[in-house]
Structure formats: structure tokens, C-alpha cells
Structure 1
């Protein structure tokens, strides 16, 4: 996979958000593969996914990304499993980028980084509970969870294909954004931290992360705002200030533009 100049993924539809089980001593084959993509988090038990000569064993605390494909595979479990599932379709024609093509065209599943799984479990549980209660904005909540998990997964896939020297050059800027997202951050300052001119910094950052420095700052602020709202401990005004917005009204418009929900709508369903 080449280093992308950028990528875009369009989620078409949430098929279902639910809790599922695989019964004890069960083994079944999907001769026509899967008709959609899905994230599966395992609450208990252990299961084996067999794709031709590739075998994946997942158990309690693991998470796997299964892909739409006509390639047959088998699922088996001796002890049975309980899981959380978010299944969805991707608009392939509207999605682009090398990392997206790799994700879509390769039928083999992706095991999600264990460091991030606890966060994703909470997000999936929230989405599933919201959908099951048919709360206002349920579909949008599930969609935002899929986007958040998928974006993280895509970044991880890209980093595996990036020269460590290139990543280390940009790392001071990324760390500064992650630690200071609530402050005013200039691109010139970030470039200086990497000992680069602004133009080369923008190109290098975008080539590594598939997103511009400014958009990365926005995404970090939005994700932190979501976490603060989910805690239930902060007002819209407080979250705006904690995430680097001096104007709560501007923050509300910004939040809705990037999530599809107003801060109060998101707060009420979190």
C-alpha cells in the first residue's frame, strides 16, 4: 500500500446494532461470505474464524472487523460466545484512497488493537442501547461510532506502512495536538516543532495521517467533546471551553456540522 495523499470513507447504512451469541459446540459455514461489514466485540467465550488457510481465534475482550466479501468462511465455538455487533455497508463508489481500497478489497478480517478495545466496547454498548430503545438520533449515534472506530483502524493500518523515520519526524506535532487540543494551535507552531517549513509540514502530515493538520485538530476536539458529554458531568458551555472553543454557540454549530447532532441531542442520548 502506498502512502496516501488522503482518503475518504462513506458509511452507507447501519444494518443492525445488537447483542449476539454463538451457541456451544456450534460450527457453521457462510458459503457465500458476508453481505456487509461489521465490528464484533467478544464479551465472553471464544470463537474461531476460518478463511481458507487463515485461522483467527478471538475470545473475551477481543474485537474483530469482518468485511463484505463473497469468499466463504466458517465460524466455530466449543464454549459458545456472547458479543456486541455493529454491522453496516460502505458506499464503495464514494470512498477513495489507497488505505480504503486495501480495506475493502482484501477479504481477510482485521484484529483491532487491544489497547483501544475498552474504549470501543463502551462506544458500541452506547450505540446498541440507543438503537434498542429507538431513542432520538439512534441511527446517527451508531453511525458516529462506526466512523470513530473505522478512522482509528485506518490510521493504525497506515502507520504499519509508513517509514518510522517519517512518522517520528511528525510525531512531536501529533503529540502536541493530542495534549493541547484545548488551546489555540497554529500550523506554523506545529511545523516549527518538527523543524520543517509550513508547506512541507502540511504535505508530510497529510501523507502520513491521510488528513490535514487542521482537520486532525478538529477531530481530536470533537472526540474529546463526545467523551465529556458521555460522562454526564459537564454543560455545553463547559465542554466548549474545555475543548478550546471560546464561543459556545460557535461550538454548537461546529459540533453539529461534524456529528449530525447538536451538543444537547448528543448529551441526551449518551
Structure 2
């Protein structure tokens, strides 16, 4: 036995975070190579320095369905993130034009000319206006910038400051990521949390934005290293089936059979793709759907329990209290907060 195993019996379960070598990295600008795979991956040298300045703040968000709609070319003072959940359209970000379809993620930095148009009927595209660097009081301006406005010279003091050269300054206008569903779910969670306004919701929204940024960076790094690429579409199909059938009885065995996989193999693949077991994924989606229905509709708890796959109100209440720490009725009592979820109260002052 190696004598080091005697002296340090726990060395195989320790996680070591090394100090930064500033001579080799600057504000998330270098790369680290994974010893396990040999792939170029964002590591401590890239990501950790961002914590010196990364302080996300949600300014405005929304996820209401839209008919055919159009936003002429304009520029913004903050960042805009748009996820295409359903529908299609045409987007431009800077000089680049894109066909927008379900699963696309659009990242629009401040002072970047862009346009957006939904052309395929009903479009669901949850969005977030946000700052990556929170500043007081600049981050609290309350007006919208309408379609067609490109000259923001008079409002330079309110503009988002330039961010250091980093992974975030290299995010493309449009991304099609293997983990887009996780990102879309987080964006919808931001919209829901903004509408419900739990205590200390601004901190919760900031934390959710950190998660979204993390998932975007992971997605841009490539396919999930732990998963065979050919099964990603299979897991996506399973996820879609779950989301579209939450009112029905769902079992892992049935999902595995639909995917033509053994139950054990399906569990392993699903966990590799989504970071949690299929059973827990189903429970989280059901609770999220309950929150949506309590936030955006006047449906009774009896109706909501049936729509979300619970046998009765008692089953729903028990599961909800376990997941959220409050009863559904208590959750519904929370008022709306100051984050605008449909539009600014003040018009653009120009």
C-alpha cells in the first residue's frame, strides 16, 4: 500500500480548488484542458475570475404567447436573452441574420443592433432583460426601448458597462445547445419567480441567472461528455413526452420502453443528460406546472391537481409542501413583485 494512503486516507474524496495563477489567466480568458477527455474546457482559470465582477440582476422578463409580431432594428442598454420554446421567425443580431425555431437561444449584448419577428403563428419565446454587473441605482431604470430606436447617446450613463474579455463576451448571437431545455426551463422559472415575488426574490432571480449563465457555458462547450451523442435526441424525445403528458400516469418503465431501452440503461442515460433521475425530473416538472397554473390562472386546486397528474388535492399539497416548504394556498398568497413581466410602466423617454 502506498504510504500516502495511510497518511492521507481521504485524499481520493477531496476536491481541491487551487489558487489562481494570474500570469496564466485574466478575467476568464484562458483555457484549461480536461485530463479525462483531452477536450478544451472552461475550467477554474476561465470561470472563477468572472466571480470578481459577475453580479446578475433581472430587469424585466416575460413568457406570454405571441401572435405574428415584429420588433424593428433597435439597440438596448442591457442584455437580452430569448429562448424559442415554440414557433418560428426571423432574428438578426449585429450583422448576422437567423431563422429562429424551437430550441434556439438568442443572446443580445447591450448596444447591439438587432431585430426580431415571429412569422409562424403563435410563438412562445420567454425572455429576460438583465444586467451581468449590478449597479445601484443605474440597474433600476424603468423604461422600455421601443422598436426602431438605435441612437442611445443621450442615455450613456444608464448603459451597461463593458464587461471584461471573457467567455461571456464570446457567446454567439444564436446558439443551439444540447441542454437548451434546461436553459428554457430556468428562463421560465425566472418569469414565474418574478411574478410570484417570494421574499428576497431579487436574490433568487440573481441566483437563477447564475445557473442560466452556467448552463449556457456548458452547452457551448459541446455535447455532454458523459453521453453518447446518438442518445441525446432520444432523451430529448423522452423529455418532450413527459412535458406533454404531465396529466397522465408516467412511469420510468414506460418511458424506457418507448425509447427501446432497458430501464436501467434509460435511467443512466437520462441522468447523464439532465443531471437528475427520471422520477425526480417528472416530480420537478409537475411542481413547476402547478406553480405556473397557480400564478397565471384562477384554476382551483382540484383542477390543477388533475392537470398536473396528482390523484387529488391532498396528494398535490403533500408533494408541494415537501418541494417548496409552503402549502399551495400559502404560495398563491404571495403578491406580484416589482420586476416587470409584461412591459415597463414608463415609456422610453425620447
1:185 aligns to what? 250
User: CA–CA distance in 2 between the matches of 1:260 and 1:79?
Assistant: 47
Q: Trace 1:238-257 onto structure 2 (pairs within 5 A).
A: 238-257=303-322
**How many residue pairs align between the two structures?**
197
Once superposed, what is the RMSD of the aligned Cα atoms? 4.3
TM-score by length of 1: 0.56
User: CA–CA distance in 2 between the matches of 1:266 and 1:120?
Assistant: 15
Q: Trace 1:1-270 onto structure 2 (pairs within 5 A).
A: 33-34=52-53, 37-41=55-59, 46-47=76-77, 56-57=109-110, 63-64=129-130, 66=132, 78-80=153-155, 108=168, 119=188, 122-123=191-192, 125-126=194-195, 130=197, 137-139=198-200, 157-160=217-220, 161-162=222-223, 164-269=229-334
Cα deviation for residue 218 of structure 1 reads 0.9
More helix by share: 1
Segment of structure 1 superposing worse, 221-230 or 235-244: 235-244
More strand by share: 1
Cα deviation for residue 202 of structure 1 reads 0.3
TM-score by length of 2: 0.45
Structure 2 stretches lacking a partner, 5+ long: 1-33, 38-50, 62-73, 80-107, 115-126, 135-151, 159-165, 176-182, 336-350
Cα deviation for residue 57 of structure 1 reads 2.7
Evaluate the alpha carbon distance shift between residue 150 and residue 204 of structure 1 in structure 2; reply closer, same or farther with a 3 A threshold: farther
Evaluate the alpha carbon distance shift between residue 38 and residue 148 of structure 1 in structure 2; reply closer, same or farther with a 3 A threshold: closer
Structure 1 stretches lacking a partner, 5+ long: 4-31, 50-54, 69-76, 84-105, 131-136
2:78–2:131 Cα contact (<8 Å) kept: no
User: CA–CA distance in 2 between the matches of 1:45 and 1:80?
Assistant: 12
